[in-house]
Amino acid sequence: MHQEPETRLLKGDCLSVLPTIQSESVDLVYLDPPFFTQKKHRLRTRDRSREFSFDDIWSSNREYTEFLHDRIVEIYRVLSDKGCLFFHCDRNSTHLARFALDEVMGAESFKSEIIWHYRRWSGSTKMLLPAHQTIYFYTKSHDYTFNVLWEDYSPATNVDQILQRRARDAYGKTVYKRNDAGDIVSNGGKKGVPLSDVWDIPYLNPKAKERIGYPTQKPLTLLERIIQLTTKENDWVLDPFCGSGTTLVASKMLNRNAIGIDTSDDALALTSTRIQELRKSESNLFIRGRDTYHNADETALTFLQGIEYVPVQRNQGIDAILKEDLDGTPIPIRIQRKGETIIEAGNKLYHASKEKNVRLMFLVARNNGGYFILGDDLPPEVVIVNSPALEIRNCLDRLSPAPVTRTPK
């Protein structure tokens, strides 16, 4: 059925290696050259046996731009007529890259400025924390391969818009379409929203098994997306700065042939190993989505407006923590859930806070939980605060005591 994909590794500066590759023989080029950071990058493998490093220090803009220009000329030559190019850079070099690319490939070949957005460690900054890198998407001609990919609808999207076909009325205004009987016309199944140029893909986490110890290693998901977007099986993919070889691994997994070039023997050895082992660690976050981590009751948190707090997720007992502290000890908060008694809620809050050096915590009560209780069974550190709705309810009950069935304990 399908051919075993071929993977070639070539050693050297791509400027001198590329001339050995035939013209117009490659369908996709992804390149990830140095970012003009003016720093030396190094990282040890997890077992600390080896250290990979490379210099990214340049004497001038000009030197860097010429470096890029010369290589892009050769890359352009080997790219097929329907081929696509993705150039990975960051805020240090976007403008330089764009100029070099425009000059060699023509400004009309520019298709998209892709923003790879991620959240990353490191806080305490006096600046805006950098949280994105840029990938420029160019094609060689007007007629290029492009497979439309789909994303899920944003949670805010109106269901009607997903399900109903639309039309324009007499004034050109968009309205929901109706048939002759006046009924709404269904849209048939929809796949989602076409992929946008902002890609939210988790950064390769320091603890990820996928991480191999090479600096600047890119997540497999990122490369998979690029490859799926612009190639089909058995196409040829080229990475002239292949580093740890993520592009080649992704290509092989997706049955694309690939060529990788790098100046470093260590990098090539590493790539070679990765291709043979072909390991991918699935990112839970990416597969299940960020929302699965939420367990603070988001709508209930609006009870707290007017006071400064930090929402807490990924914990069953605590919904938020006050920004203020009590003599250095944190002050956690829980909002009582529906179908949860005050005692249950209080115990969860207390339990989650027990080991955390807490002296005061607040529980927002939303109902009486089936019986009147005033915290007798709860530790004294738990302060119960009634929601306005509960307070109103209690006041009304006092005025006109209704025959309420109380569940006995």
From the list 155-163, 263-271, 359-367, 399-407, the region that binds DNA by CB under 7 A is 155-163
Pick from 195, 204, 215, 227: which is nearest to 280 by CA? Answer: 204
- Give the whole-angstrom CA distance, residue 283 versus residue 220: 10
- Give the whole-angstrom CA distance, residue 387 versus residue 363: 10
Using CB under 7 A as the binding rule, whether residue 352 contacts DNA is answered as yes
Q: How many residues bind a second copy (CB under 8 A)?
A: 116
Q: Which is closer to DNA, CB of 355 or CB of 376?
A: 355
Q: Residue 165 binds what, of DNA, a second copy, none (CB under 5 to 8 Å, by partner type)?
A: DNA
In contact, 302 and 323? CB cutoff 8 Å: no
Using CB under 8 A as the binding rule, whether residue 57 contacts a second copy is answered as no
From the list 257-265, 297-305, 335-343, 350-358, the region that binds DNA by CB under 7 A is 350-358
In contact, 364 and 333? CB cutoff 8 Å: yes
Q: Residue 37 binds what, of DNA, a second copy, none (CB under 5 to 8 Å, by partner type)?
A: DNA
**Does an H or E element contain 28, and which?**
strand 26-31
Q: Dihedral (C-alpha) 348, 352, 356, 360: value to the nearest 10 degrees? A: -20
Using CB under 8 A as the binding rule, whether residue 269 contacts a second copy is answered as no
From the list 50-58, 77-85, 265-273, 348-356, the region that binds a second copy by CB under 8 A is 348-356
Using CB under 7 A as the binding rule, whether residue 1 contacts DNA is answered as no
Using CB under 8 A as the binding rule, whether residue 50 contacts a second copy is answered as no
Residues 126-165 that bind a second copy (CB under 8 A): 126-132, 137, 146, 148, 152-164
Using CB under 7 A as the binding rule, whether residue 37 contacts DNA is answered as yes
60 SS3 class: coil
Dihedral angle sign, alpha carbons of residues 362, 368, 371, 373: positive
Q: How many CA atoms lie less than 13 Å away from 318 in the CB half-sphere? A: 25
In contact, 251 and 257? CB cutoff 8 Å: yes
In DSSP terms, 99 is beta-bridged to: none
363 SS3 class: strand
From the list 102-110, 232-240, 244-252, 256-264, the region that binds a second copy by CB under 8 A is 102-110
Residues 353-392 that bind DNA (CB under 7 A): 355-356
Residue 381: CB minimum distance to DNA, A: 17
Quick one: 125 exposed, middle or buried, by C-beta within 10 A (0-12, 13-18, 19+)?
exposed
Residues 6+ apart with CB under 8 A from 72: 100, 101, 104, 105
Q: What is the phi/psi pair of residue 98, to 5°? A: -60, -40
The token pair that represents 369 in the structure block: 């939980």
Residue 292: CB minimum distance to a second copy, A: 8
In contact, 117 and 131? CB cutoff 8 Å: yes
Q: Residue 316 binds what, of DNA, a second copy, none (CB under 5 to 8 Å, by partner type)?
A: DNA
Residues 170-229 that bind a second copy (CB under 8 A): 183-198
Total length of the chain = 409
Using CB under 7 A as the binding rule, whether residue 276 contacts DNA is answered as no
Residues 175-234 that bind DNA (CB under 7 A): 175-176, 187, 190, 192-193, 202-203, 205-211, 215-217
Binding residue for a second copy, selected from 259, 366, 368, 382, defined by CB under 8 A: 366
Residues 272-311 that bind a second copy (CB under 8 A): 285, 290-291, 293-294, 299-300, 302-307, 310-311
Using CB under 7 A as the binding rule, whether residue 49 contacts DNA is answered as no
- Give the whole-angstrom CA distance, residue 141 versus residue 189: 33
First to last CA, the chain: 68
Pick from 144, 200, 115, 150: which is nearest to 29 by CA? Answer: 144
- Give the whole-angstrom CA distance, residue 409 versus residue 404: 15
Binding residue for DNA, selected from 122, 179, 299, 302, defined by CB under 7 A: 122
Q: Residue 364 binds what, of DNA, a second copy, none (CB under 5 to 8 Å, by partner type)?
A: a second copy
Binding residue for a second copy, selected from 39, 42, 119, 209, defined by CB under 8 A: 119
Residues 91-120 that bind DNA (CB under 7 A): 118-120
Q: Residue 46 binds what, of DNA, a second copy, none (CB under 5 to 8 Å, by partner type)?
A: DNA
- AA identity, residue 126: K
From the list 3-11, 250-258, 270-278, 330-338, the region that binds a second copy by CB under 8 A is 330-338
Q: Which residues bind DNA (CB under 7 A)?
A: 32, 34-35, 37, 39-41, 43-44, 46, 56, 90, 118-127, 129-130, 153-154, 156-162, 165-168, 173-176, 187, 190, 192-193, 202-203, 205-211, 215-217, 281, 283-286, 290, 314-317, 352, 355-356
